[in-house]
Structure formats: structure tokens, C-alpha cells
């Protein structure tokens, strides 16, 4: 058990604690069947005290066999913040009376510049200085060649910075982890991964922490603290180029695989990716900007319809039973629904392949049966599959699959005609690898109980 009811209460506030307690209460009564949470019993008076009289209305069932949550509980109680379909609109890019330039798309910059009495041509010159190679201006003093009055206006009315550099850690394989401080003092991490084939990738964060509580992920342990603004996302890519291009070469690819579930911050992520692919600015190819999701089906559908960037889906299991445990989002959007949605959405798209990510966890999802099920699951979906070596972290209960077993798994998929790649760990000696970002505070998001058949593989106990 990672948290007591009262500590969790302080951590997430009364409202969300009430939701968590509802969930704890439900799972206590379902522990023999669903095995969700490893938690000591909470007494009924304790629950009633914090949940209020309405908690008396919860109907609990004690029968076995995959019982659903009581109808009075919402599925979102499985996460560390609500997982709604009604995403907030992109935040207004303003700091005080100043507009935050990196939160604006080019048409918005043009409109804003015109509203201050300047020509669209000057907007383009500004845009090129914000995002053009070897400029990446981070204050108005760096805007060489612009009209003096225009610069003065920008100094008075525009803000150039969303992030402050805190530190850069270099791993033994050359991967860099950049730590940025946000305006409110929170810290985010961005990773730059140089590759020998002339391709360098920046992995950006979209949230501080994450609500999805994937059990193998260190970031998930933090819970969700807040969404990043469009400017905070865009500036990670800009500063990665500004700070590291001379050392690592041109940064050609962006992956939204840092801290957070990108599609849980839909509007800001969509807008940031639009800014990143602008041909007059950062000019990443849309095929080289990949947004990853744990499987938020409505947002995924919307993303495929509204964006021309690439999509990655973090799959990681071949049965609902395993996925319900290691990725609680699966309890809301089941594997069948997720894959059927992809099948339907992609059937009419030309030259588009979704990338499935599959983190290999020893004894959990790496059997030959899993490989065969995976082949069946992705039938009819244009896709590539990345088999990713699990990166252990402090407190993680999972173990990485051995190399020879990963190769064997890959071979089963390849023989069936799948496009499949093995991805080894990068940057893990600096906690810069996939699933290792962030820093949980004293209080962690809840660990879910290990299903009985996997306890031996994890060396866990109920």
C-alpha cells in the first residue's frame, strides 16, 4: 500500500480524495475478484466521515468473477484526475497584459501584429526569428533586422519566454535530459536523443505528471499536477534546438512521449504540433512529429481527423485483463474498442501507419501466446510495432524482458508479416529513458494490486 486514506486526502484535496476513497471503498469490497488496489481495509465509519452520507448509498457486491465497479462510481476514479472527453480549450496565451508569442499559431501572430498597426510582412519576419534556424530568439533584443518601432512594441506587449533552463544531464549514450522550470516553479523534463543515422529526436512533455497511472511508468506515480500550455510545449522543441543543435546536430523529429498523456491536454498539444510543423518556422515534417496516447479513444479519433501528424498508441498488453491492471485507462476504453476505432479511422487513409508501442515486461506480456494474440489484434490496421525494453526505476515492480526473449518475440511477429522494431533503452543511467521522467513527491499515485497469476513473475505479494 502506497498511501493511507488521510495522506491521499491531503495530496489531492478534499474533492478528488472523496473520489479516491469511493474507489478504495469499492475495491476493498471487490478485492477477491478484481484485485485492483493493495490497500489495508478502511473502516465504514472512516469512509462515511470523509465521504459523507451519500457513501451509505454505495452498493457493494462481494461475489467473485470480474465484477464491475458499483454503478455509483465513475470509471474516472481509477485515475488520479478525471479523464473527460470534454477537453478544455487551449489556454489563453497571456502573461499579465503581454501576449505569449509561442502560444500563437502563425495566423494568430499575423492578426495580433496587424492589430498593433503593423504589416503582415513584419509578422513573418518576427516568426522567422522566433523559430528560424540559428536564431530561436528568446527576447526582443535578439530580433535583429526588425524595424525599431516594431521591436519596441514587441518589448512592451509581447512575452518571449515560457520556460527557464534548470539543468542538463548527459547520459553515457549521449542522451540529454533537460530540466525546465515553469513560471509557477514546477519542473518538467525534455529529452534529446541523438541517433547515429543522422536523426535526432526531441521528446517533449505535455503535462506536469500524468493522471493515467500506468503501473510501469515513473511519471504516472506523480499523479497529474497540471497541463502544459501551448507555449510551454513549443518552447521545449525550440530550446532543445537552441541549446543542443551545435552538439548533437539538427533535431529532426519530435515525439510527444515525455511527461503526461498528450491527448489528455488535447487542445494545447494539437496547437503546439501545428506550430511545430509550420513551414516558415520550426518546419518539422508532420510525419516526424508523433503524438502518443495510452488510448483515450474519443480524443484519438479527433486527433486522426484534425491532425496530419503521426500517432503512436501505447498498447503494452494483449488481453483486457493485463491491460486493465497495467494501464487503468483500459477499464474505460477496452482493447477491442481501441483497435476497432483505429481500424475504422485508418481504413480510408492512404500512406498512414499508426505506431504501436509495446513495453516488454518479463512474465507479464512477453509470452509466445502474447505475440500470437498481438498479431491477431492488429490485423487490418496499417501499423508498425515498436518492442520497447522496459526501463526500471525506483520502486518499480516490473522486470525487463531478456534480450533473447525480445528477439524471439520480434521474430514471431516478423514471420507473420508485421513491421516490427526492437527499441533498446536510451538514457536510463540519467533517468531519461521512456517511462522514467519526472519526480514523484512524497505521496505517490496508488499502485494497483498484482493479479494472482503474475505475482510470481513480479515477486509480489497481495
Helix boundaries (H) for 31-100: 44-51
What is the rounded CA–CA span in Å between residue 316 and residue 302?
22
Strands (E), 92-186: 94-95, 98-100, 158-159, 163-170, 176-182
Question: Which of 5, 260, 281, 400 touches ligand SF4 by CB under 6 A?
Answer: 260
DSSP 337: H
In 81-147, which ranges are continuous DSSP H helix? Answer: 106-115, 120-131
CA-nearest of 373, 423, 370, 363 to 398 is 363
Q: Which stretch binds ligand SF4 (CB under 6 A): 11-19, 65-73, 180-188, 210-218?
A: 210-218
Distance CA 222, CA 259 (A): 10
- Beta-strand runs (E) in 221-353: 224-227, 251-256, 289-293, 310-314
Cα Dmax for the chain: 76
294 interacts with ligand SF4 by CB under 6 A: yes
- Touching ligand SF4, residues 89-148 (CB under 6 A): none
Q: Which segment (46-54, 215-223, 231-239, 400-408) binds ligand SF4 by CB under 6 A?
A: 215-223
CB of 294 to ligand SF4, least distance (A): 4
Q: State the minimum distance, in angstroms, from the CB of residue 293 to ligand SF4.
A: 8
Q: Does 261 bind ligand SF4 (CB under 6 A)?
A: yes
The site for ligand SF4, by CB under 6 A, has a size of 12
- Indicate whether 300 belongs to the interface with ligand SF4 (CB under 6 A): no
Give the β-pairing of 200-203 and 163-170.
Answer: unpaired
Three-class DSSP category at 193: strand
Q: How far is the CB of 448 from ligand SF4 (least distance, A)?
A: 12
- 435/440 with CB nearer ligand SF4: 435
The span of 139-147, 208-216, 410-418, 454-462 binding ligand SF4 (CB under 6 A) equals 208-216
Non-local (6+) Cβ contacts of 96 within 8 A are none
Catalytic, 345? Answer no
Vertex 51: Cα angle to 50 and 57 (nearest 5): 150
d(CA 158, CA 138): 11
Closer Cβ to ligand SF4, 189 or 261, answer by number:
261
Rounded CA gap, 82 and 16, in Å? Answer: 9
214 near ligand SF4, judged by CB under 6 A:
yes
Q: For the chain, what is the total number of helices (H) and then of strands (E)?
A: 13, 15
Q: Looking at beta carbons, which residue is closest to ligand SF4?
A: 220
Looking at residues 307 to 326 of the shown chain, list those that interact with ligand SF4 (rule: CB under 6 A).
314
Least Cβ distance, residue 55 to ligand SF4 (angstroms): 28
- Least CB distance to ligand SF4 at residue 221 (A): 8
- Which of 220, 223, 427, 440 is the binder for ligand SF4 (CB under 6 A)? 220
Would you count residue 440 as binding ligand SF4 (CB under 6 A)? no
Shortest gap between Cβ of 257 and ligand SF4 (angstroms)?
A: 7
From CA 32, how far away is CA 171, in angstroms rounded?
Answer: 44
Count of Cβ atoms closer than 10 Å to residue 82 Cβ? 15
Cβ closest to ligand SF4, residue 270 vs residue 315: 315
Exactly one of 87, 110, 189, 232 is catalytic; name it: 189
Q: Please choose, out of 17-25, 81-89, 98-106, 217-225, the segment that lies near ligand SF4 by the rule CB under 6 A.
A: 217-225
Contacting ligand SF4 (CB under 6 A), which of 20, 219, 229, 236? Answer: 219
Which residue among 210, 214, 383, 434 is the active-site one?
434
CB of 258 to ligand SF4, least distance (A): 8
434 as an active site residue: the answer is yes
Q: Which is nearer to ligand SF4, 93 or 446 (CB)?
A: 446
Residue 460, helix vs strand vs coil? coil
Which residues are 100's β-sheet partners? Answer: 159
Residues of the shown chain interacting with ligand SF4 in the complex, contacts defined by CB under 6 A: 210, 212-214, 217, 219-220, 260-261, 294, 314, 435
Catalytic residues: 189, 434
Amino acid at each position: 500500500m502506497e498511501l493511507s486514506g488521510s495522506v491521499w486526502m491531503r495530496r489531492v484535496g478534499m474533492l478528488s480524495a472523496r473520489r479516491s476513497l469511493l474507489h478504495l471503498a469499492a475495491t476493498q469490497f471487490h478485492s477477491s475478484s478484481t484485485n485492483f488496489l493493495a490497500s489495508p481495509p478502511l473502516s465504514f465509519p472512516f469512509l462515511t466521515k470523509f465521504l459523507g452520507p451519500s457513501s451509505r448509498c454505495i452498493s457493494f457486491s462481494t461475489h467473485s468473477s470480474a465484477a464491475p465497479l458499483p454503478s455509483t462510481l465513475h470509471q474516472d476514479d481509477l485515475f488520479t484526475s478525471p479523464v473527460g472527453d470534454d477537453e478544455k480549450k487551449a489556454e489563453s496565451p497571456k502573461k499579465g497584459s503581454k501576449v505569449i508569442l509561442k502560444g500563437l499559431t502563425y495566423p494568430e501572430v499575423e492578426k495580433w501584429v496587424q492589430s498593433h498597426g503593423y504589416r503582415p510582412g513584419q509578422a513573418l519576419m518576427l516568426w522567422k526569428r522566433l523559430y528560424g534556424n540559428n536564431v530561436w530568439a528568446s527576447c526582443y533584443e535578439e530580433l535583429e533586422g526588425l524595424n525599431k518601432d516594431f521591436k519596441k512594441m514587441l518589448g512592451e506587449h509581447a512575452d518571449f519566454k515560457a520556460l527557464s533552463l534548470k539543468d542538463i544531464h548527459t547520459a553515457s549514450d549521449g542522451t540529454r535530459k533537460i530540466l525546465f522550470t515553469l513560471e509557477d516553479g514546477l519542473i518538467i523534463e525534455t529529452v534529446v536523443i541523438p541517433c547515429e543515422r543522422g536523426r535526432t529526436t526531441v521528446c517533449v512533455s505535455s503535462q506536469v505528471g500524468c493522471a493515467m497511472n500506468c503501473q510501469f511508468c515513473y511519471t504516472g506515480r506523480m499523479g497529474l499536477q497540471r497541463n502544459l500550455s501551448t507555449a510551454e510545449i513549443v518552447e521545449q522543441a525550440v530550446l532543445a534546438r537552441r541549446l543542443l543543435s551545435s552538439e548533437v546536430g539538427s533535431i529532426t523529429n519530435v515525439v510527444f512521449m515525455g511527461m503526461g498523456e498528450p491527448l489528455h491536454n488535447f487542445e494545447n498539444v494539437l496547437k503546439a504540433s501545428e506550430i511545430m510543423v509550420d513551414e516558415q518556422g520550426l518546419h518539422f515534417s508532420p510525419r516526424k512529429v508523433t503524438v502518443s496516447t495510452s488510448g483515450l479513444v474519443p480524443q484519438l479519433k479527433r486527433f486522426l481527423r484534425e491532425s496530419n501528424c503521426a500517432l503512436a498508441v501505447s498498447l503494452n498488453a494483449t488481453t483486457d485483463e493485463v491491460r486493465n491492471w497495467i494501464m487503468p485507462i483500459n477499464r474505460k476504453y477496452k482493447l477491442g474498442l481501441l483497435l476497432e476505432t483505429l481500424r475504422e479511422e485508418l481504413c480510408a487513409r492512404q500512406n498512414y501507419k499508426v505506431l504501436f508501442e509495446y513495453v516488454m515486461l518479463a512474465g507479464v506480456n512477453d509470452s509466445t501466446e502474447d505475440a500470437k494474440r498481438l498479431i491477431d489484434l492488429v490485423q487490418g490496421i496499417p501499423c508498425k510495432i515498436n518492442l520497447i525494453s522496459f526501463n526500471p526505476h525506483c520502486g518499480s515492480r516490473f522486470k525487463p524482458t531478456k534480450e533473447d526473449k525480445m528477439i524471439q518475440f520480434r521474430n514471431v511477429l516478423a514471420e507473420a508479416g508485421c513491421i516490427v522494431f526492437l527499441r533498446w533503452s536510451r538514457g536510463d543511467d540519467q533517468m531519461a529513458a521512456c517511462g522514467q521522467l519526472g519526480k514523484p513527491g512524497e505521496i505517490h499515485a496508488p499502485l494497483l494490486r498484482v493479479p494472482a497469476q503474475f505475482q510470481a513473475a513480479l515477486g509480489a505479494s497481495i
